[in-house]
A and B are shown apart, each in its own frame.
Chain A
Amino acid sequence: MVNISTSPHIRSGLSTATVMQDVAIALMPALLMGVFVFGLRALLVILLCAVCCTLTEYLYRRLMKLPQTVSDGSALVTGLILAMNLPASVPLWIPVFGAVIAILVVKQLFGGLGQNIMNPALAARCFLLISFPALMGAGMPAVGNLLGPDALAAFGQRMTTLAVDATTGATPLQMLKDGQSVDLLQAFFGFHSGCIGETSTVAILVGAAYMLLRGVISPRIPGIYLAATVAFVALFRAVTGEPLTGNYLLGQLCTGGLMAGAVFMATDYVTSPITPWGQVIYALLLGLLTALFRVFGSSAEGVSYAIIIGNTLVPLMEKVTIPRAFGKRGVAR
């Protein structure tokens, strides 16, 4: 007999899994760049995060006898974003621990996909930052020999050892905070110390372009967030009277976690507003908070905390920005 269900009777080809797949693809350039810059150990951290996130989700759903959801790919994406936010030099139990925090505590205990109020990967990163500051921040791996005649040999070396480079390098963002200028071109390509997936602005932009083309994200949140951060940083620097150079402003834009945060984390569906004006407010708030943390905070970075704080305010922002329905926008005549 024929099937009965109510209209509509057709569906677009899109599914949660295809959307997550697109996000995972978009993350690849940034992550691969991380492997190129930081070597085999970065690859190991990425794999650990991806596997542990997926496994945690699988085991939790299974033990709790809930419908299995690993195949939707959202846990994998969380794993990749978590890895993006870790330095390659972390002890290897950190990705495992972070994955459990992200998937078990931040995502599943809140009810699973769509119910979590904070971005799981970012919340896990913030938790790790607070709990293990020495492991998470200070030990940013120094950048090896990336260019020049010996580059290939150096790359080969990085890809054959899991040892952590004892020398640690200051991140360019820290250098900016300390009043130094940075090599913008190197920063743009990502040849500097930092977390695995955040260093290469160009690789992140390639991922962003892919997601924009595929309609996965709209430019609204990342665009406003980036612009607002630069604007507020400039404003605050003007207020404090510290020197404000082009190098400083552009450096703010393409070093640290801002670009990765704006493209991959602030746009996280579940933890950003769905209403158009809610998205505007959210992005502006993220820009304001990021600038506040970066200019006045004790650490050079502020993107993760800004986004996490923004996440918690999303329900409120949506509530006050419900769009006016079609016929109620103007008068009939």
Chain B
Amino acid sequence: MNLRTFKHGIHPADGKALSANEAIRDFRPTGEMVYPLNQHIGAPAQPVVAVGDPVLVGQTLAQPGGFVSAAICSAASGTVKAIELRRTVSGKEALSIVIENDGQYTPMPGVGERRDYTALSGQQILDIIRDAGIVGQGGAGFPTHVKLTMKEGVQPETIILNAAECEPYLTSDYRLLIEKTDRVLEGLQVVLQIFPQAQAVIGIEANKPEAIRLLTEKTAALPHISVQVLKTKYPQGGERMLIHAVTGRDIHSGKLPIDAGCVVLNVSTVMSIRAAVCRGIPQIAAIMTVTGEGAASPCNVSVPVGTSHRELLAFAGGLKGEPEKLISGGPLMGVAMVSLDVPVLKTSSAILAMPEDEVARWEPTACIRCGRCLRACPEFLVPPMMAHAADNGDLGAFEKVNGMECIECGCCTYVCPAKRRLTQSFRTAKTAVNAKRRAAAAKK
């Protein structure tokens, strides 16, 4: 088979066997539900409910606070208990709408009703996506309706379904692909309804043979959708790496996928689009993998957004022993959680319980200039030079050695024998450069 890929990258132990064979279970928590207003890129959402208001499943709690913003809908029914600062996964506090969950899950009228997407225009579909509060589920939560809104005269050639799921341990996309294959494909067809000229390509890593078989079989009769099998390598699901593998085109930090004629969507995002357009269900669930060697019974769960991580973990069987580290997301790009008493976001993908913290075990030592990080970096960067600039606070030098191209994938840090915390330095330096750029832009 012709396996496409990108250059460099790493092959960490994938840990997927822990949960890959666990069917997605539905979870209906009874505890309070918390909705931070900033769980997407862009302006925070604006509350449209007040304390004391009754709410139903699917009801809009907050409207987009601008064009680049997203609505937030309730995943439970109950009453608005408070609108106050709550701690989020990142450890910071954010203004959040808190719902007292009545445990009934009474839906809003219309939620769950079938709708024929073929009768809708592209603009109607985009409006539904916007009102459903859909944001990209792979990474930072970019509002999907913004991603799908094209400039005058621009049309994507390729819609790439990111089914790589290259992060170790995560299996939720894989489960969706094999359990809900038809729905994923229907979601893709909804997107193709917006862009009738485009071709859809499903980019999937070779380590998911069952999903590849199903997708190949079911796309045989769909002329506009094809399957591209990719080499199993991290970060194959990185947007730039995926575009490179599928189209051979390369973009850098100053460009968007559309500059390469592409729109890249995640499996769960496409599922959300389908649910919103074909069933009138806004983005109120996250498909999550609760896993890791420190999880008592690794599994995949469909979790209502707003659920406390603590309640989810209890539902999923709890912990085994006392893990040293709890991560929201995968081991390479996830965020270490300070507390379990934080809500599941639209972008949540996993709880990973690590019995041993490998980071704490290794103290960083001097760079031996072995060059392994250069050979791992999918962006062809020179991490020791970037680290030197970043650690000296020399932002100019950091930009000069292409520091802003770093996608924070963690490959360099993973391979470094000196255990240097490279990615961490780069993240800090990038944040500082971005702040400087914003300040400069504001002055003008």
Contacts and interface: CB of A to CB of B under 8 A. Distances in A.
Given A12-B414, A15-B362, A275-B374, A327 B332 contact: no
Interface string B392-433: 000000000110010010100111111101011001000000
Nearest to B169: A10
Nearest to B419: A11
Contact of A7 (B259, B324, B335, B372): B335
Given A322-B382, A324-B380, A332-B249, A7 B366 contact: no
Contacts of B427: 6
Which size bracket describes the interface of B in this complex?
35 or more
Interface stretch (B61-69, B107-115, B206-214, B353-361): B353-361
Nearest to A72: B365
Contact of B370 (A2, A19, A322): A19
B309 to A, nearest CB: 12
A325 B426 CA distance: 15
Contact of B358 (A9, A275, A325, A332): A9
A328 interface: yes
A270 B362 CA distance: 21
A14 B374 contact: no
Interface in A9-31: 9-12, 14-16, 18-19
A329 B251 CA distance: 9
Contacts of A112: 366
A274 B417 contact: no
A8 B331 contact: yes
A15 B417 contact: yes
Interface in A243-286: 269-270, 272, 274-276
A323 interface: yes
Interface string B377-392: 0111110110000000
Contacts, number: 170
A332 B259 contact: yes
B384 A274 contact: yes
A91 interface: no
A326 B252 contact: yes
Given A10-B332, A322-B401, A327-B240, A269 B370 contact: yes
Given A19-B417, A333-B260, A9 B357 contact: yes
Given A9-B332, A269-B370, A3 B359 contact: yes
Given A326-B240, A327-B252, A5 B414 contact: no
B176 interface: no
A18 B418 CA distance: 10
A113 B405 CA distance: 29
Interface in B209-260: 240, 244, 249-253, 255, 259-260
Dominant secondary structure at the A interface: loop
Interface in A67-88: 69, 72, 74
Contacts of B408: 7
B324 A2 contact: yes
A115 B368 CA distance: 8
Contacts of B139: none
A9 B423 CA distance: 11
A325 B402 CA distance: 7
A14 B335 CA distance: 24
Contact of A325 (B370, B372, B381): B381
A239 interface: no
Contacts of A269: 368-371
B260 A326 contact: no
A162 B203 CA distance: 68
Interface string B339-358: 00000000000001010011
Interface residues of A, number: 41
A8 B413 contact: yes
A325 B8 CA distance: 13
B12 interface: yes
A4 B333 contact: no
B94 interface: no
A332 B249 CA distance: 6
Nearest to B324: A3
Contacts of A2: 323-326, 336-338
A332 B324 contact: no
Contacts of B359: 3, 5, 9, 11
A69 B368 contact: no
Given A2-B323, A2-B325, A8 B370 contact: no
B261 interface: yes
B327 interface: yes
A330 interface: yes
Interface in B4-18: 10, 12
Given A15-B419, A333-B260, A8 B365 contact: no
B356 to A, nearest CB: 10
B23 interface: no
Residue picked from A74, A275, A322, most chain B C-beta under 10 Å: A322
The 6 closest A-B pairs by CB, nearest first: A327-B252, A8-B410, A325-B402, A114-B366, A325-B405, A326-B379
Given A9-B354, A326-B244, A327-B379, 11 more contacts: A6-B421, A7-B327, A10-B12, A12-B417, A114-B368, A114-B369, A269-B371, A274-B369, A318-B385, A326-B250, A333-B259
Interface of A: 2-12, 14-16, 18-19, 69, 72, 74, 112-115, 269-270, 272, 274-276, 318, 322-330, 332-333
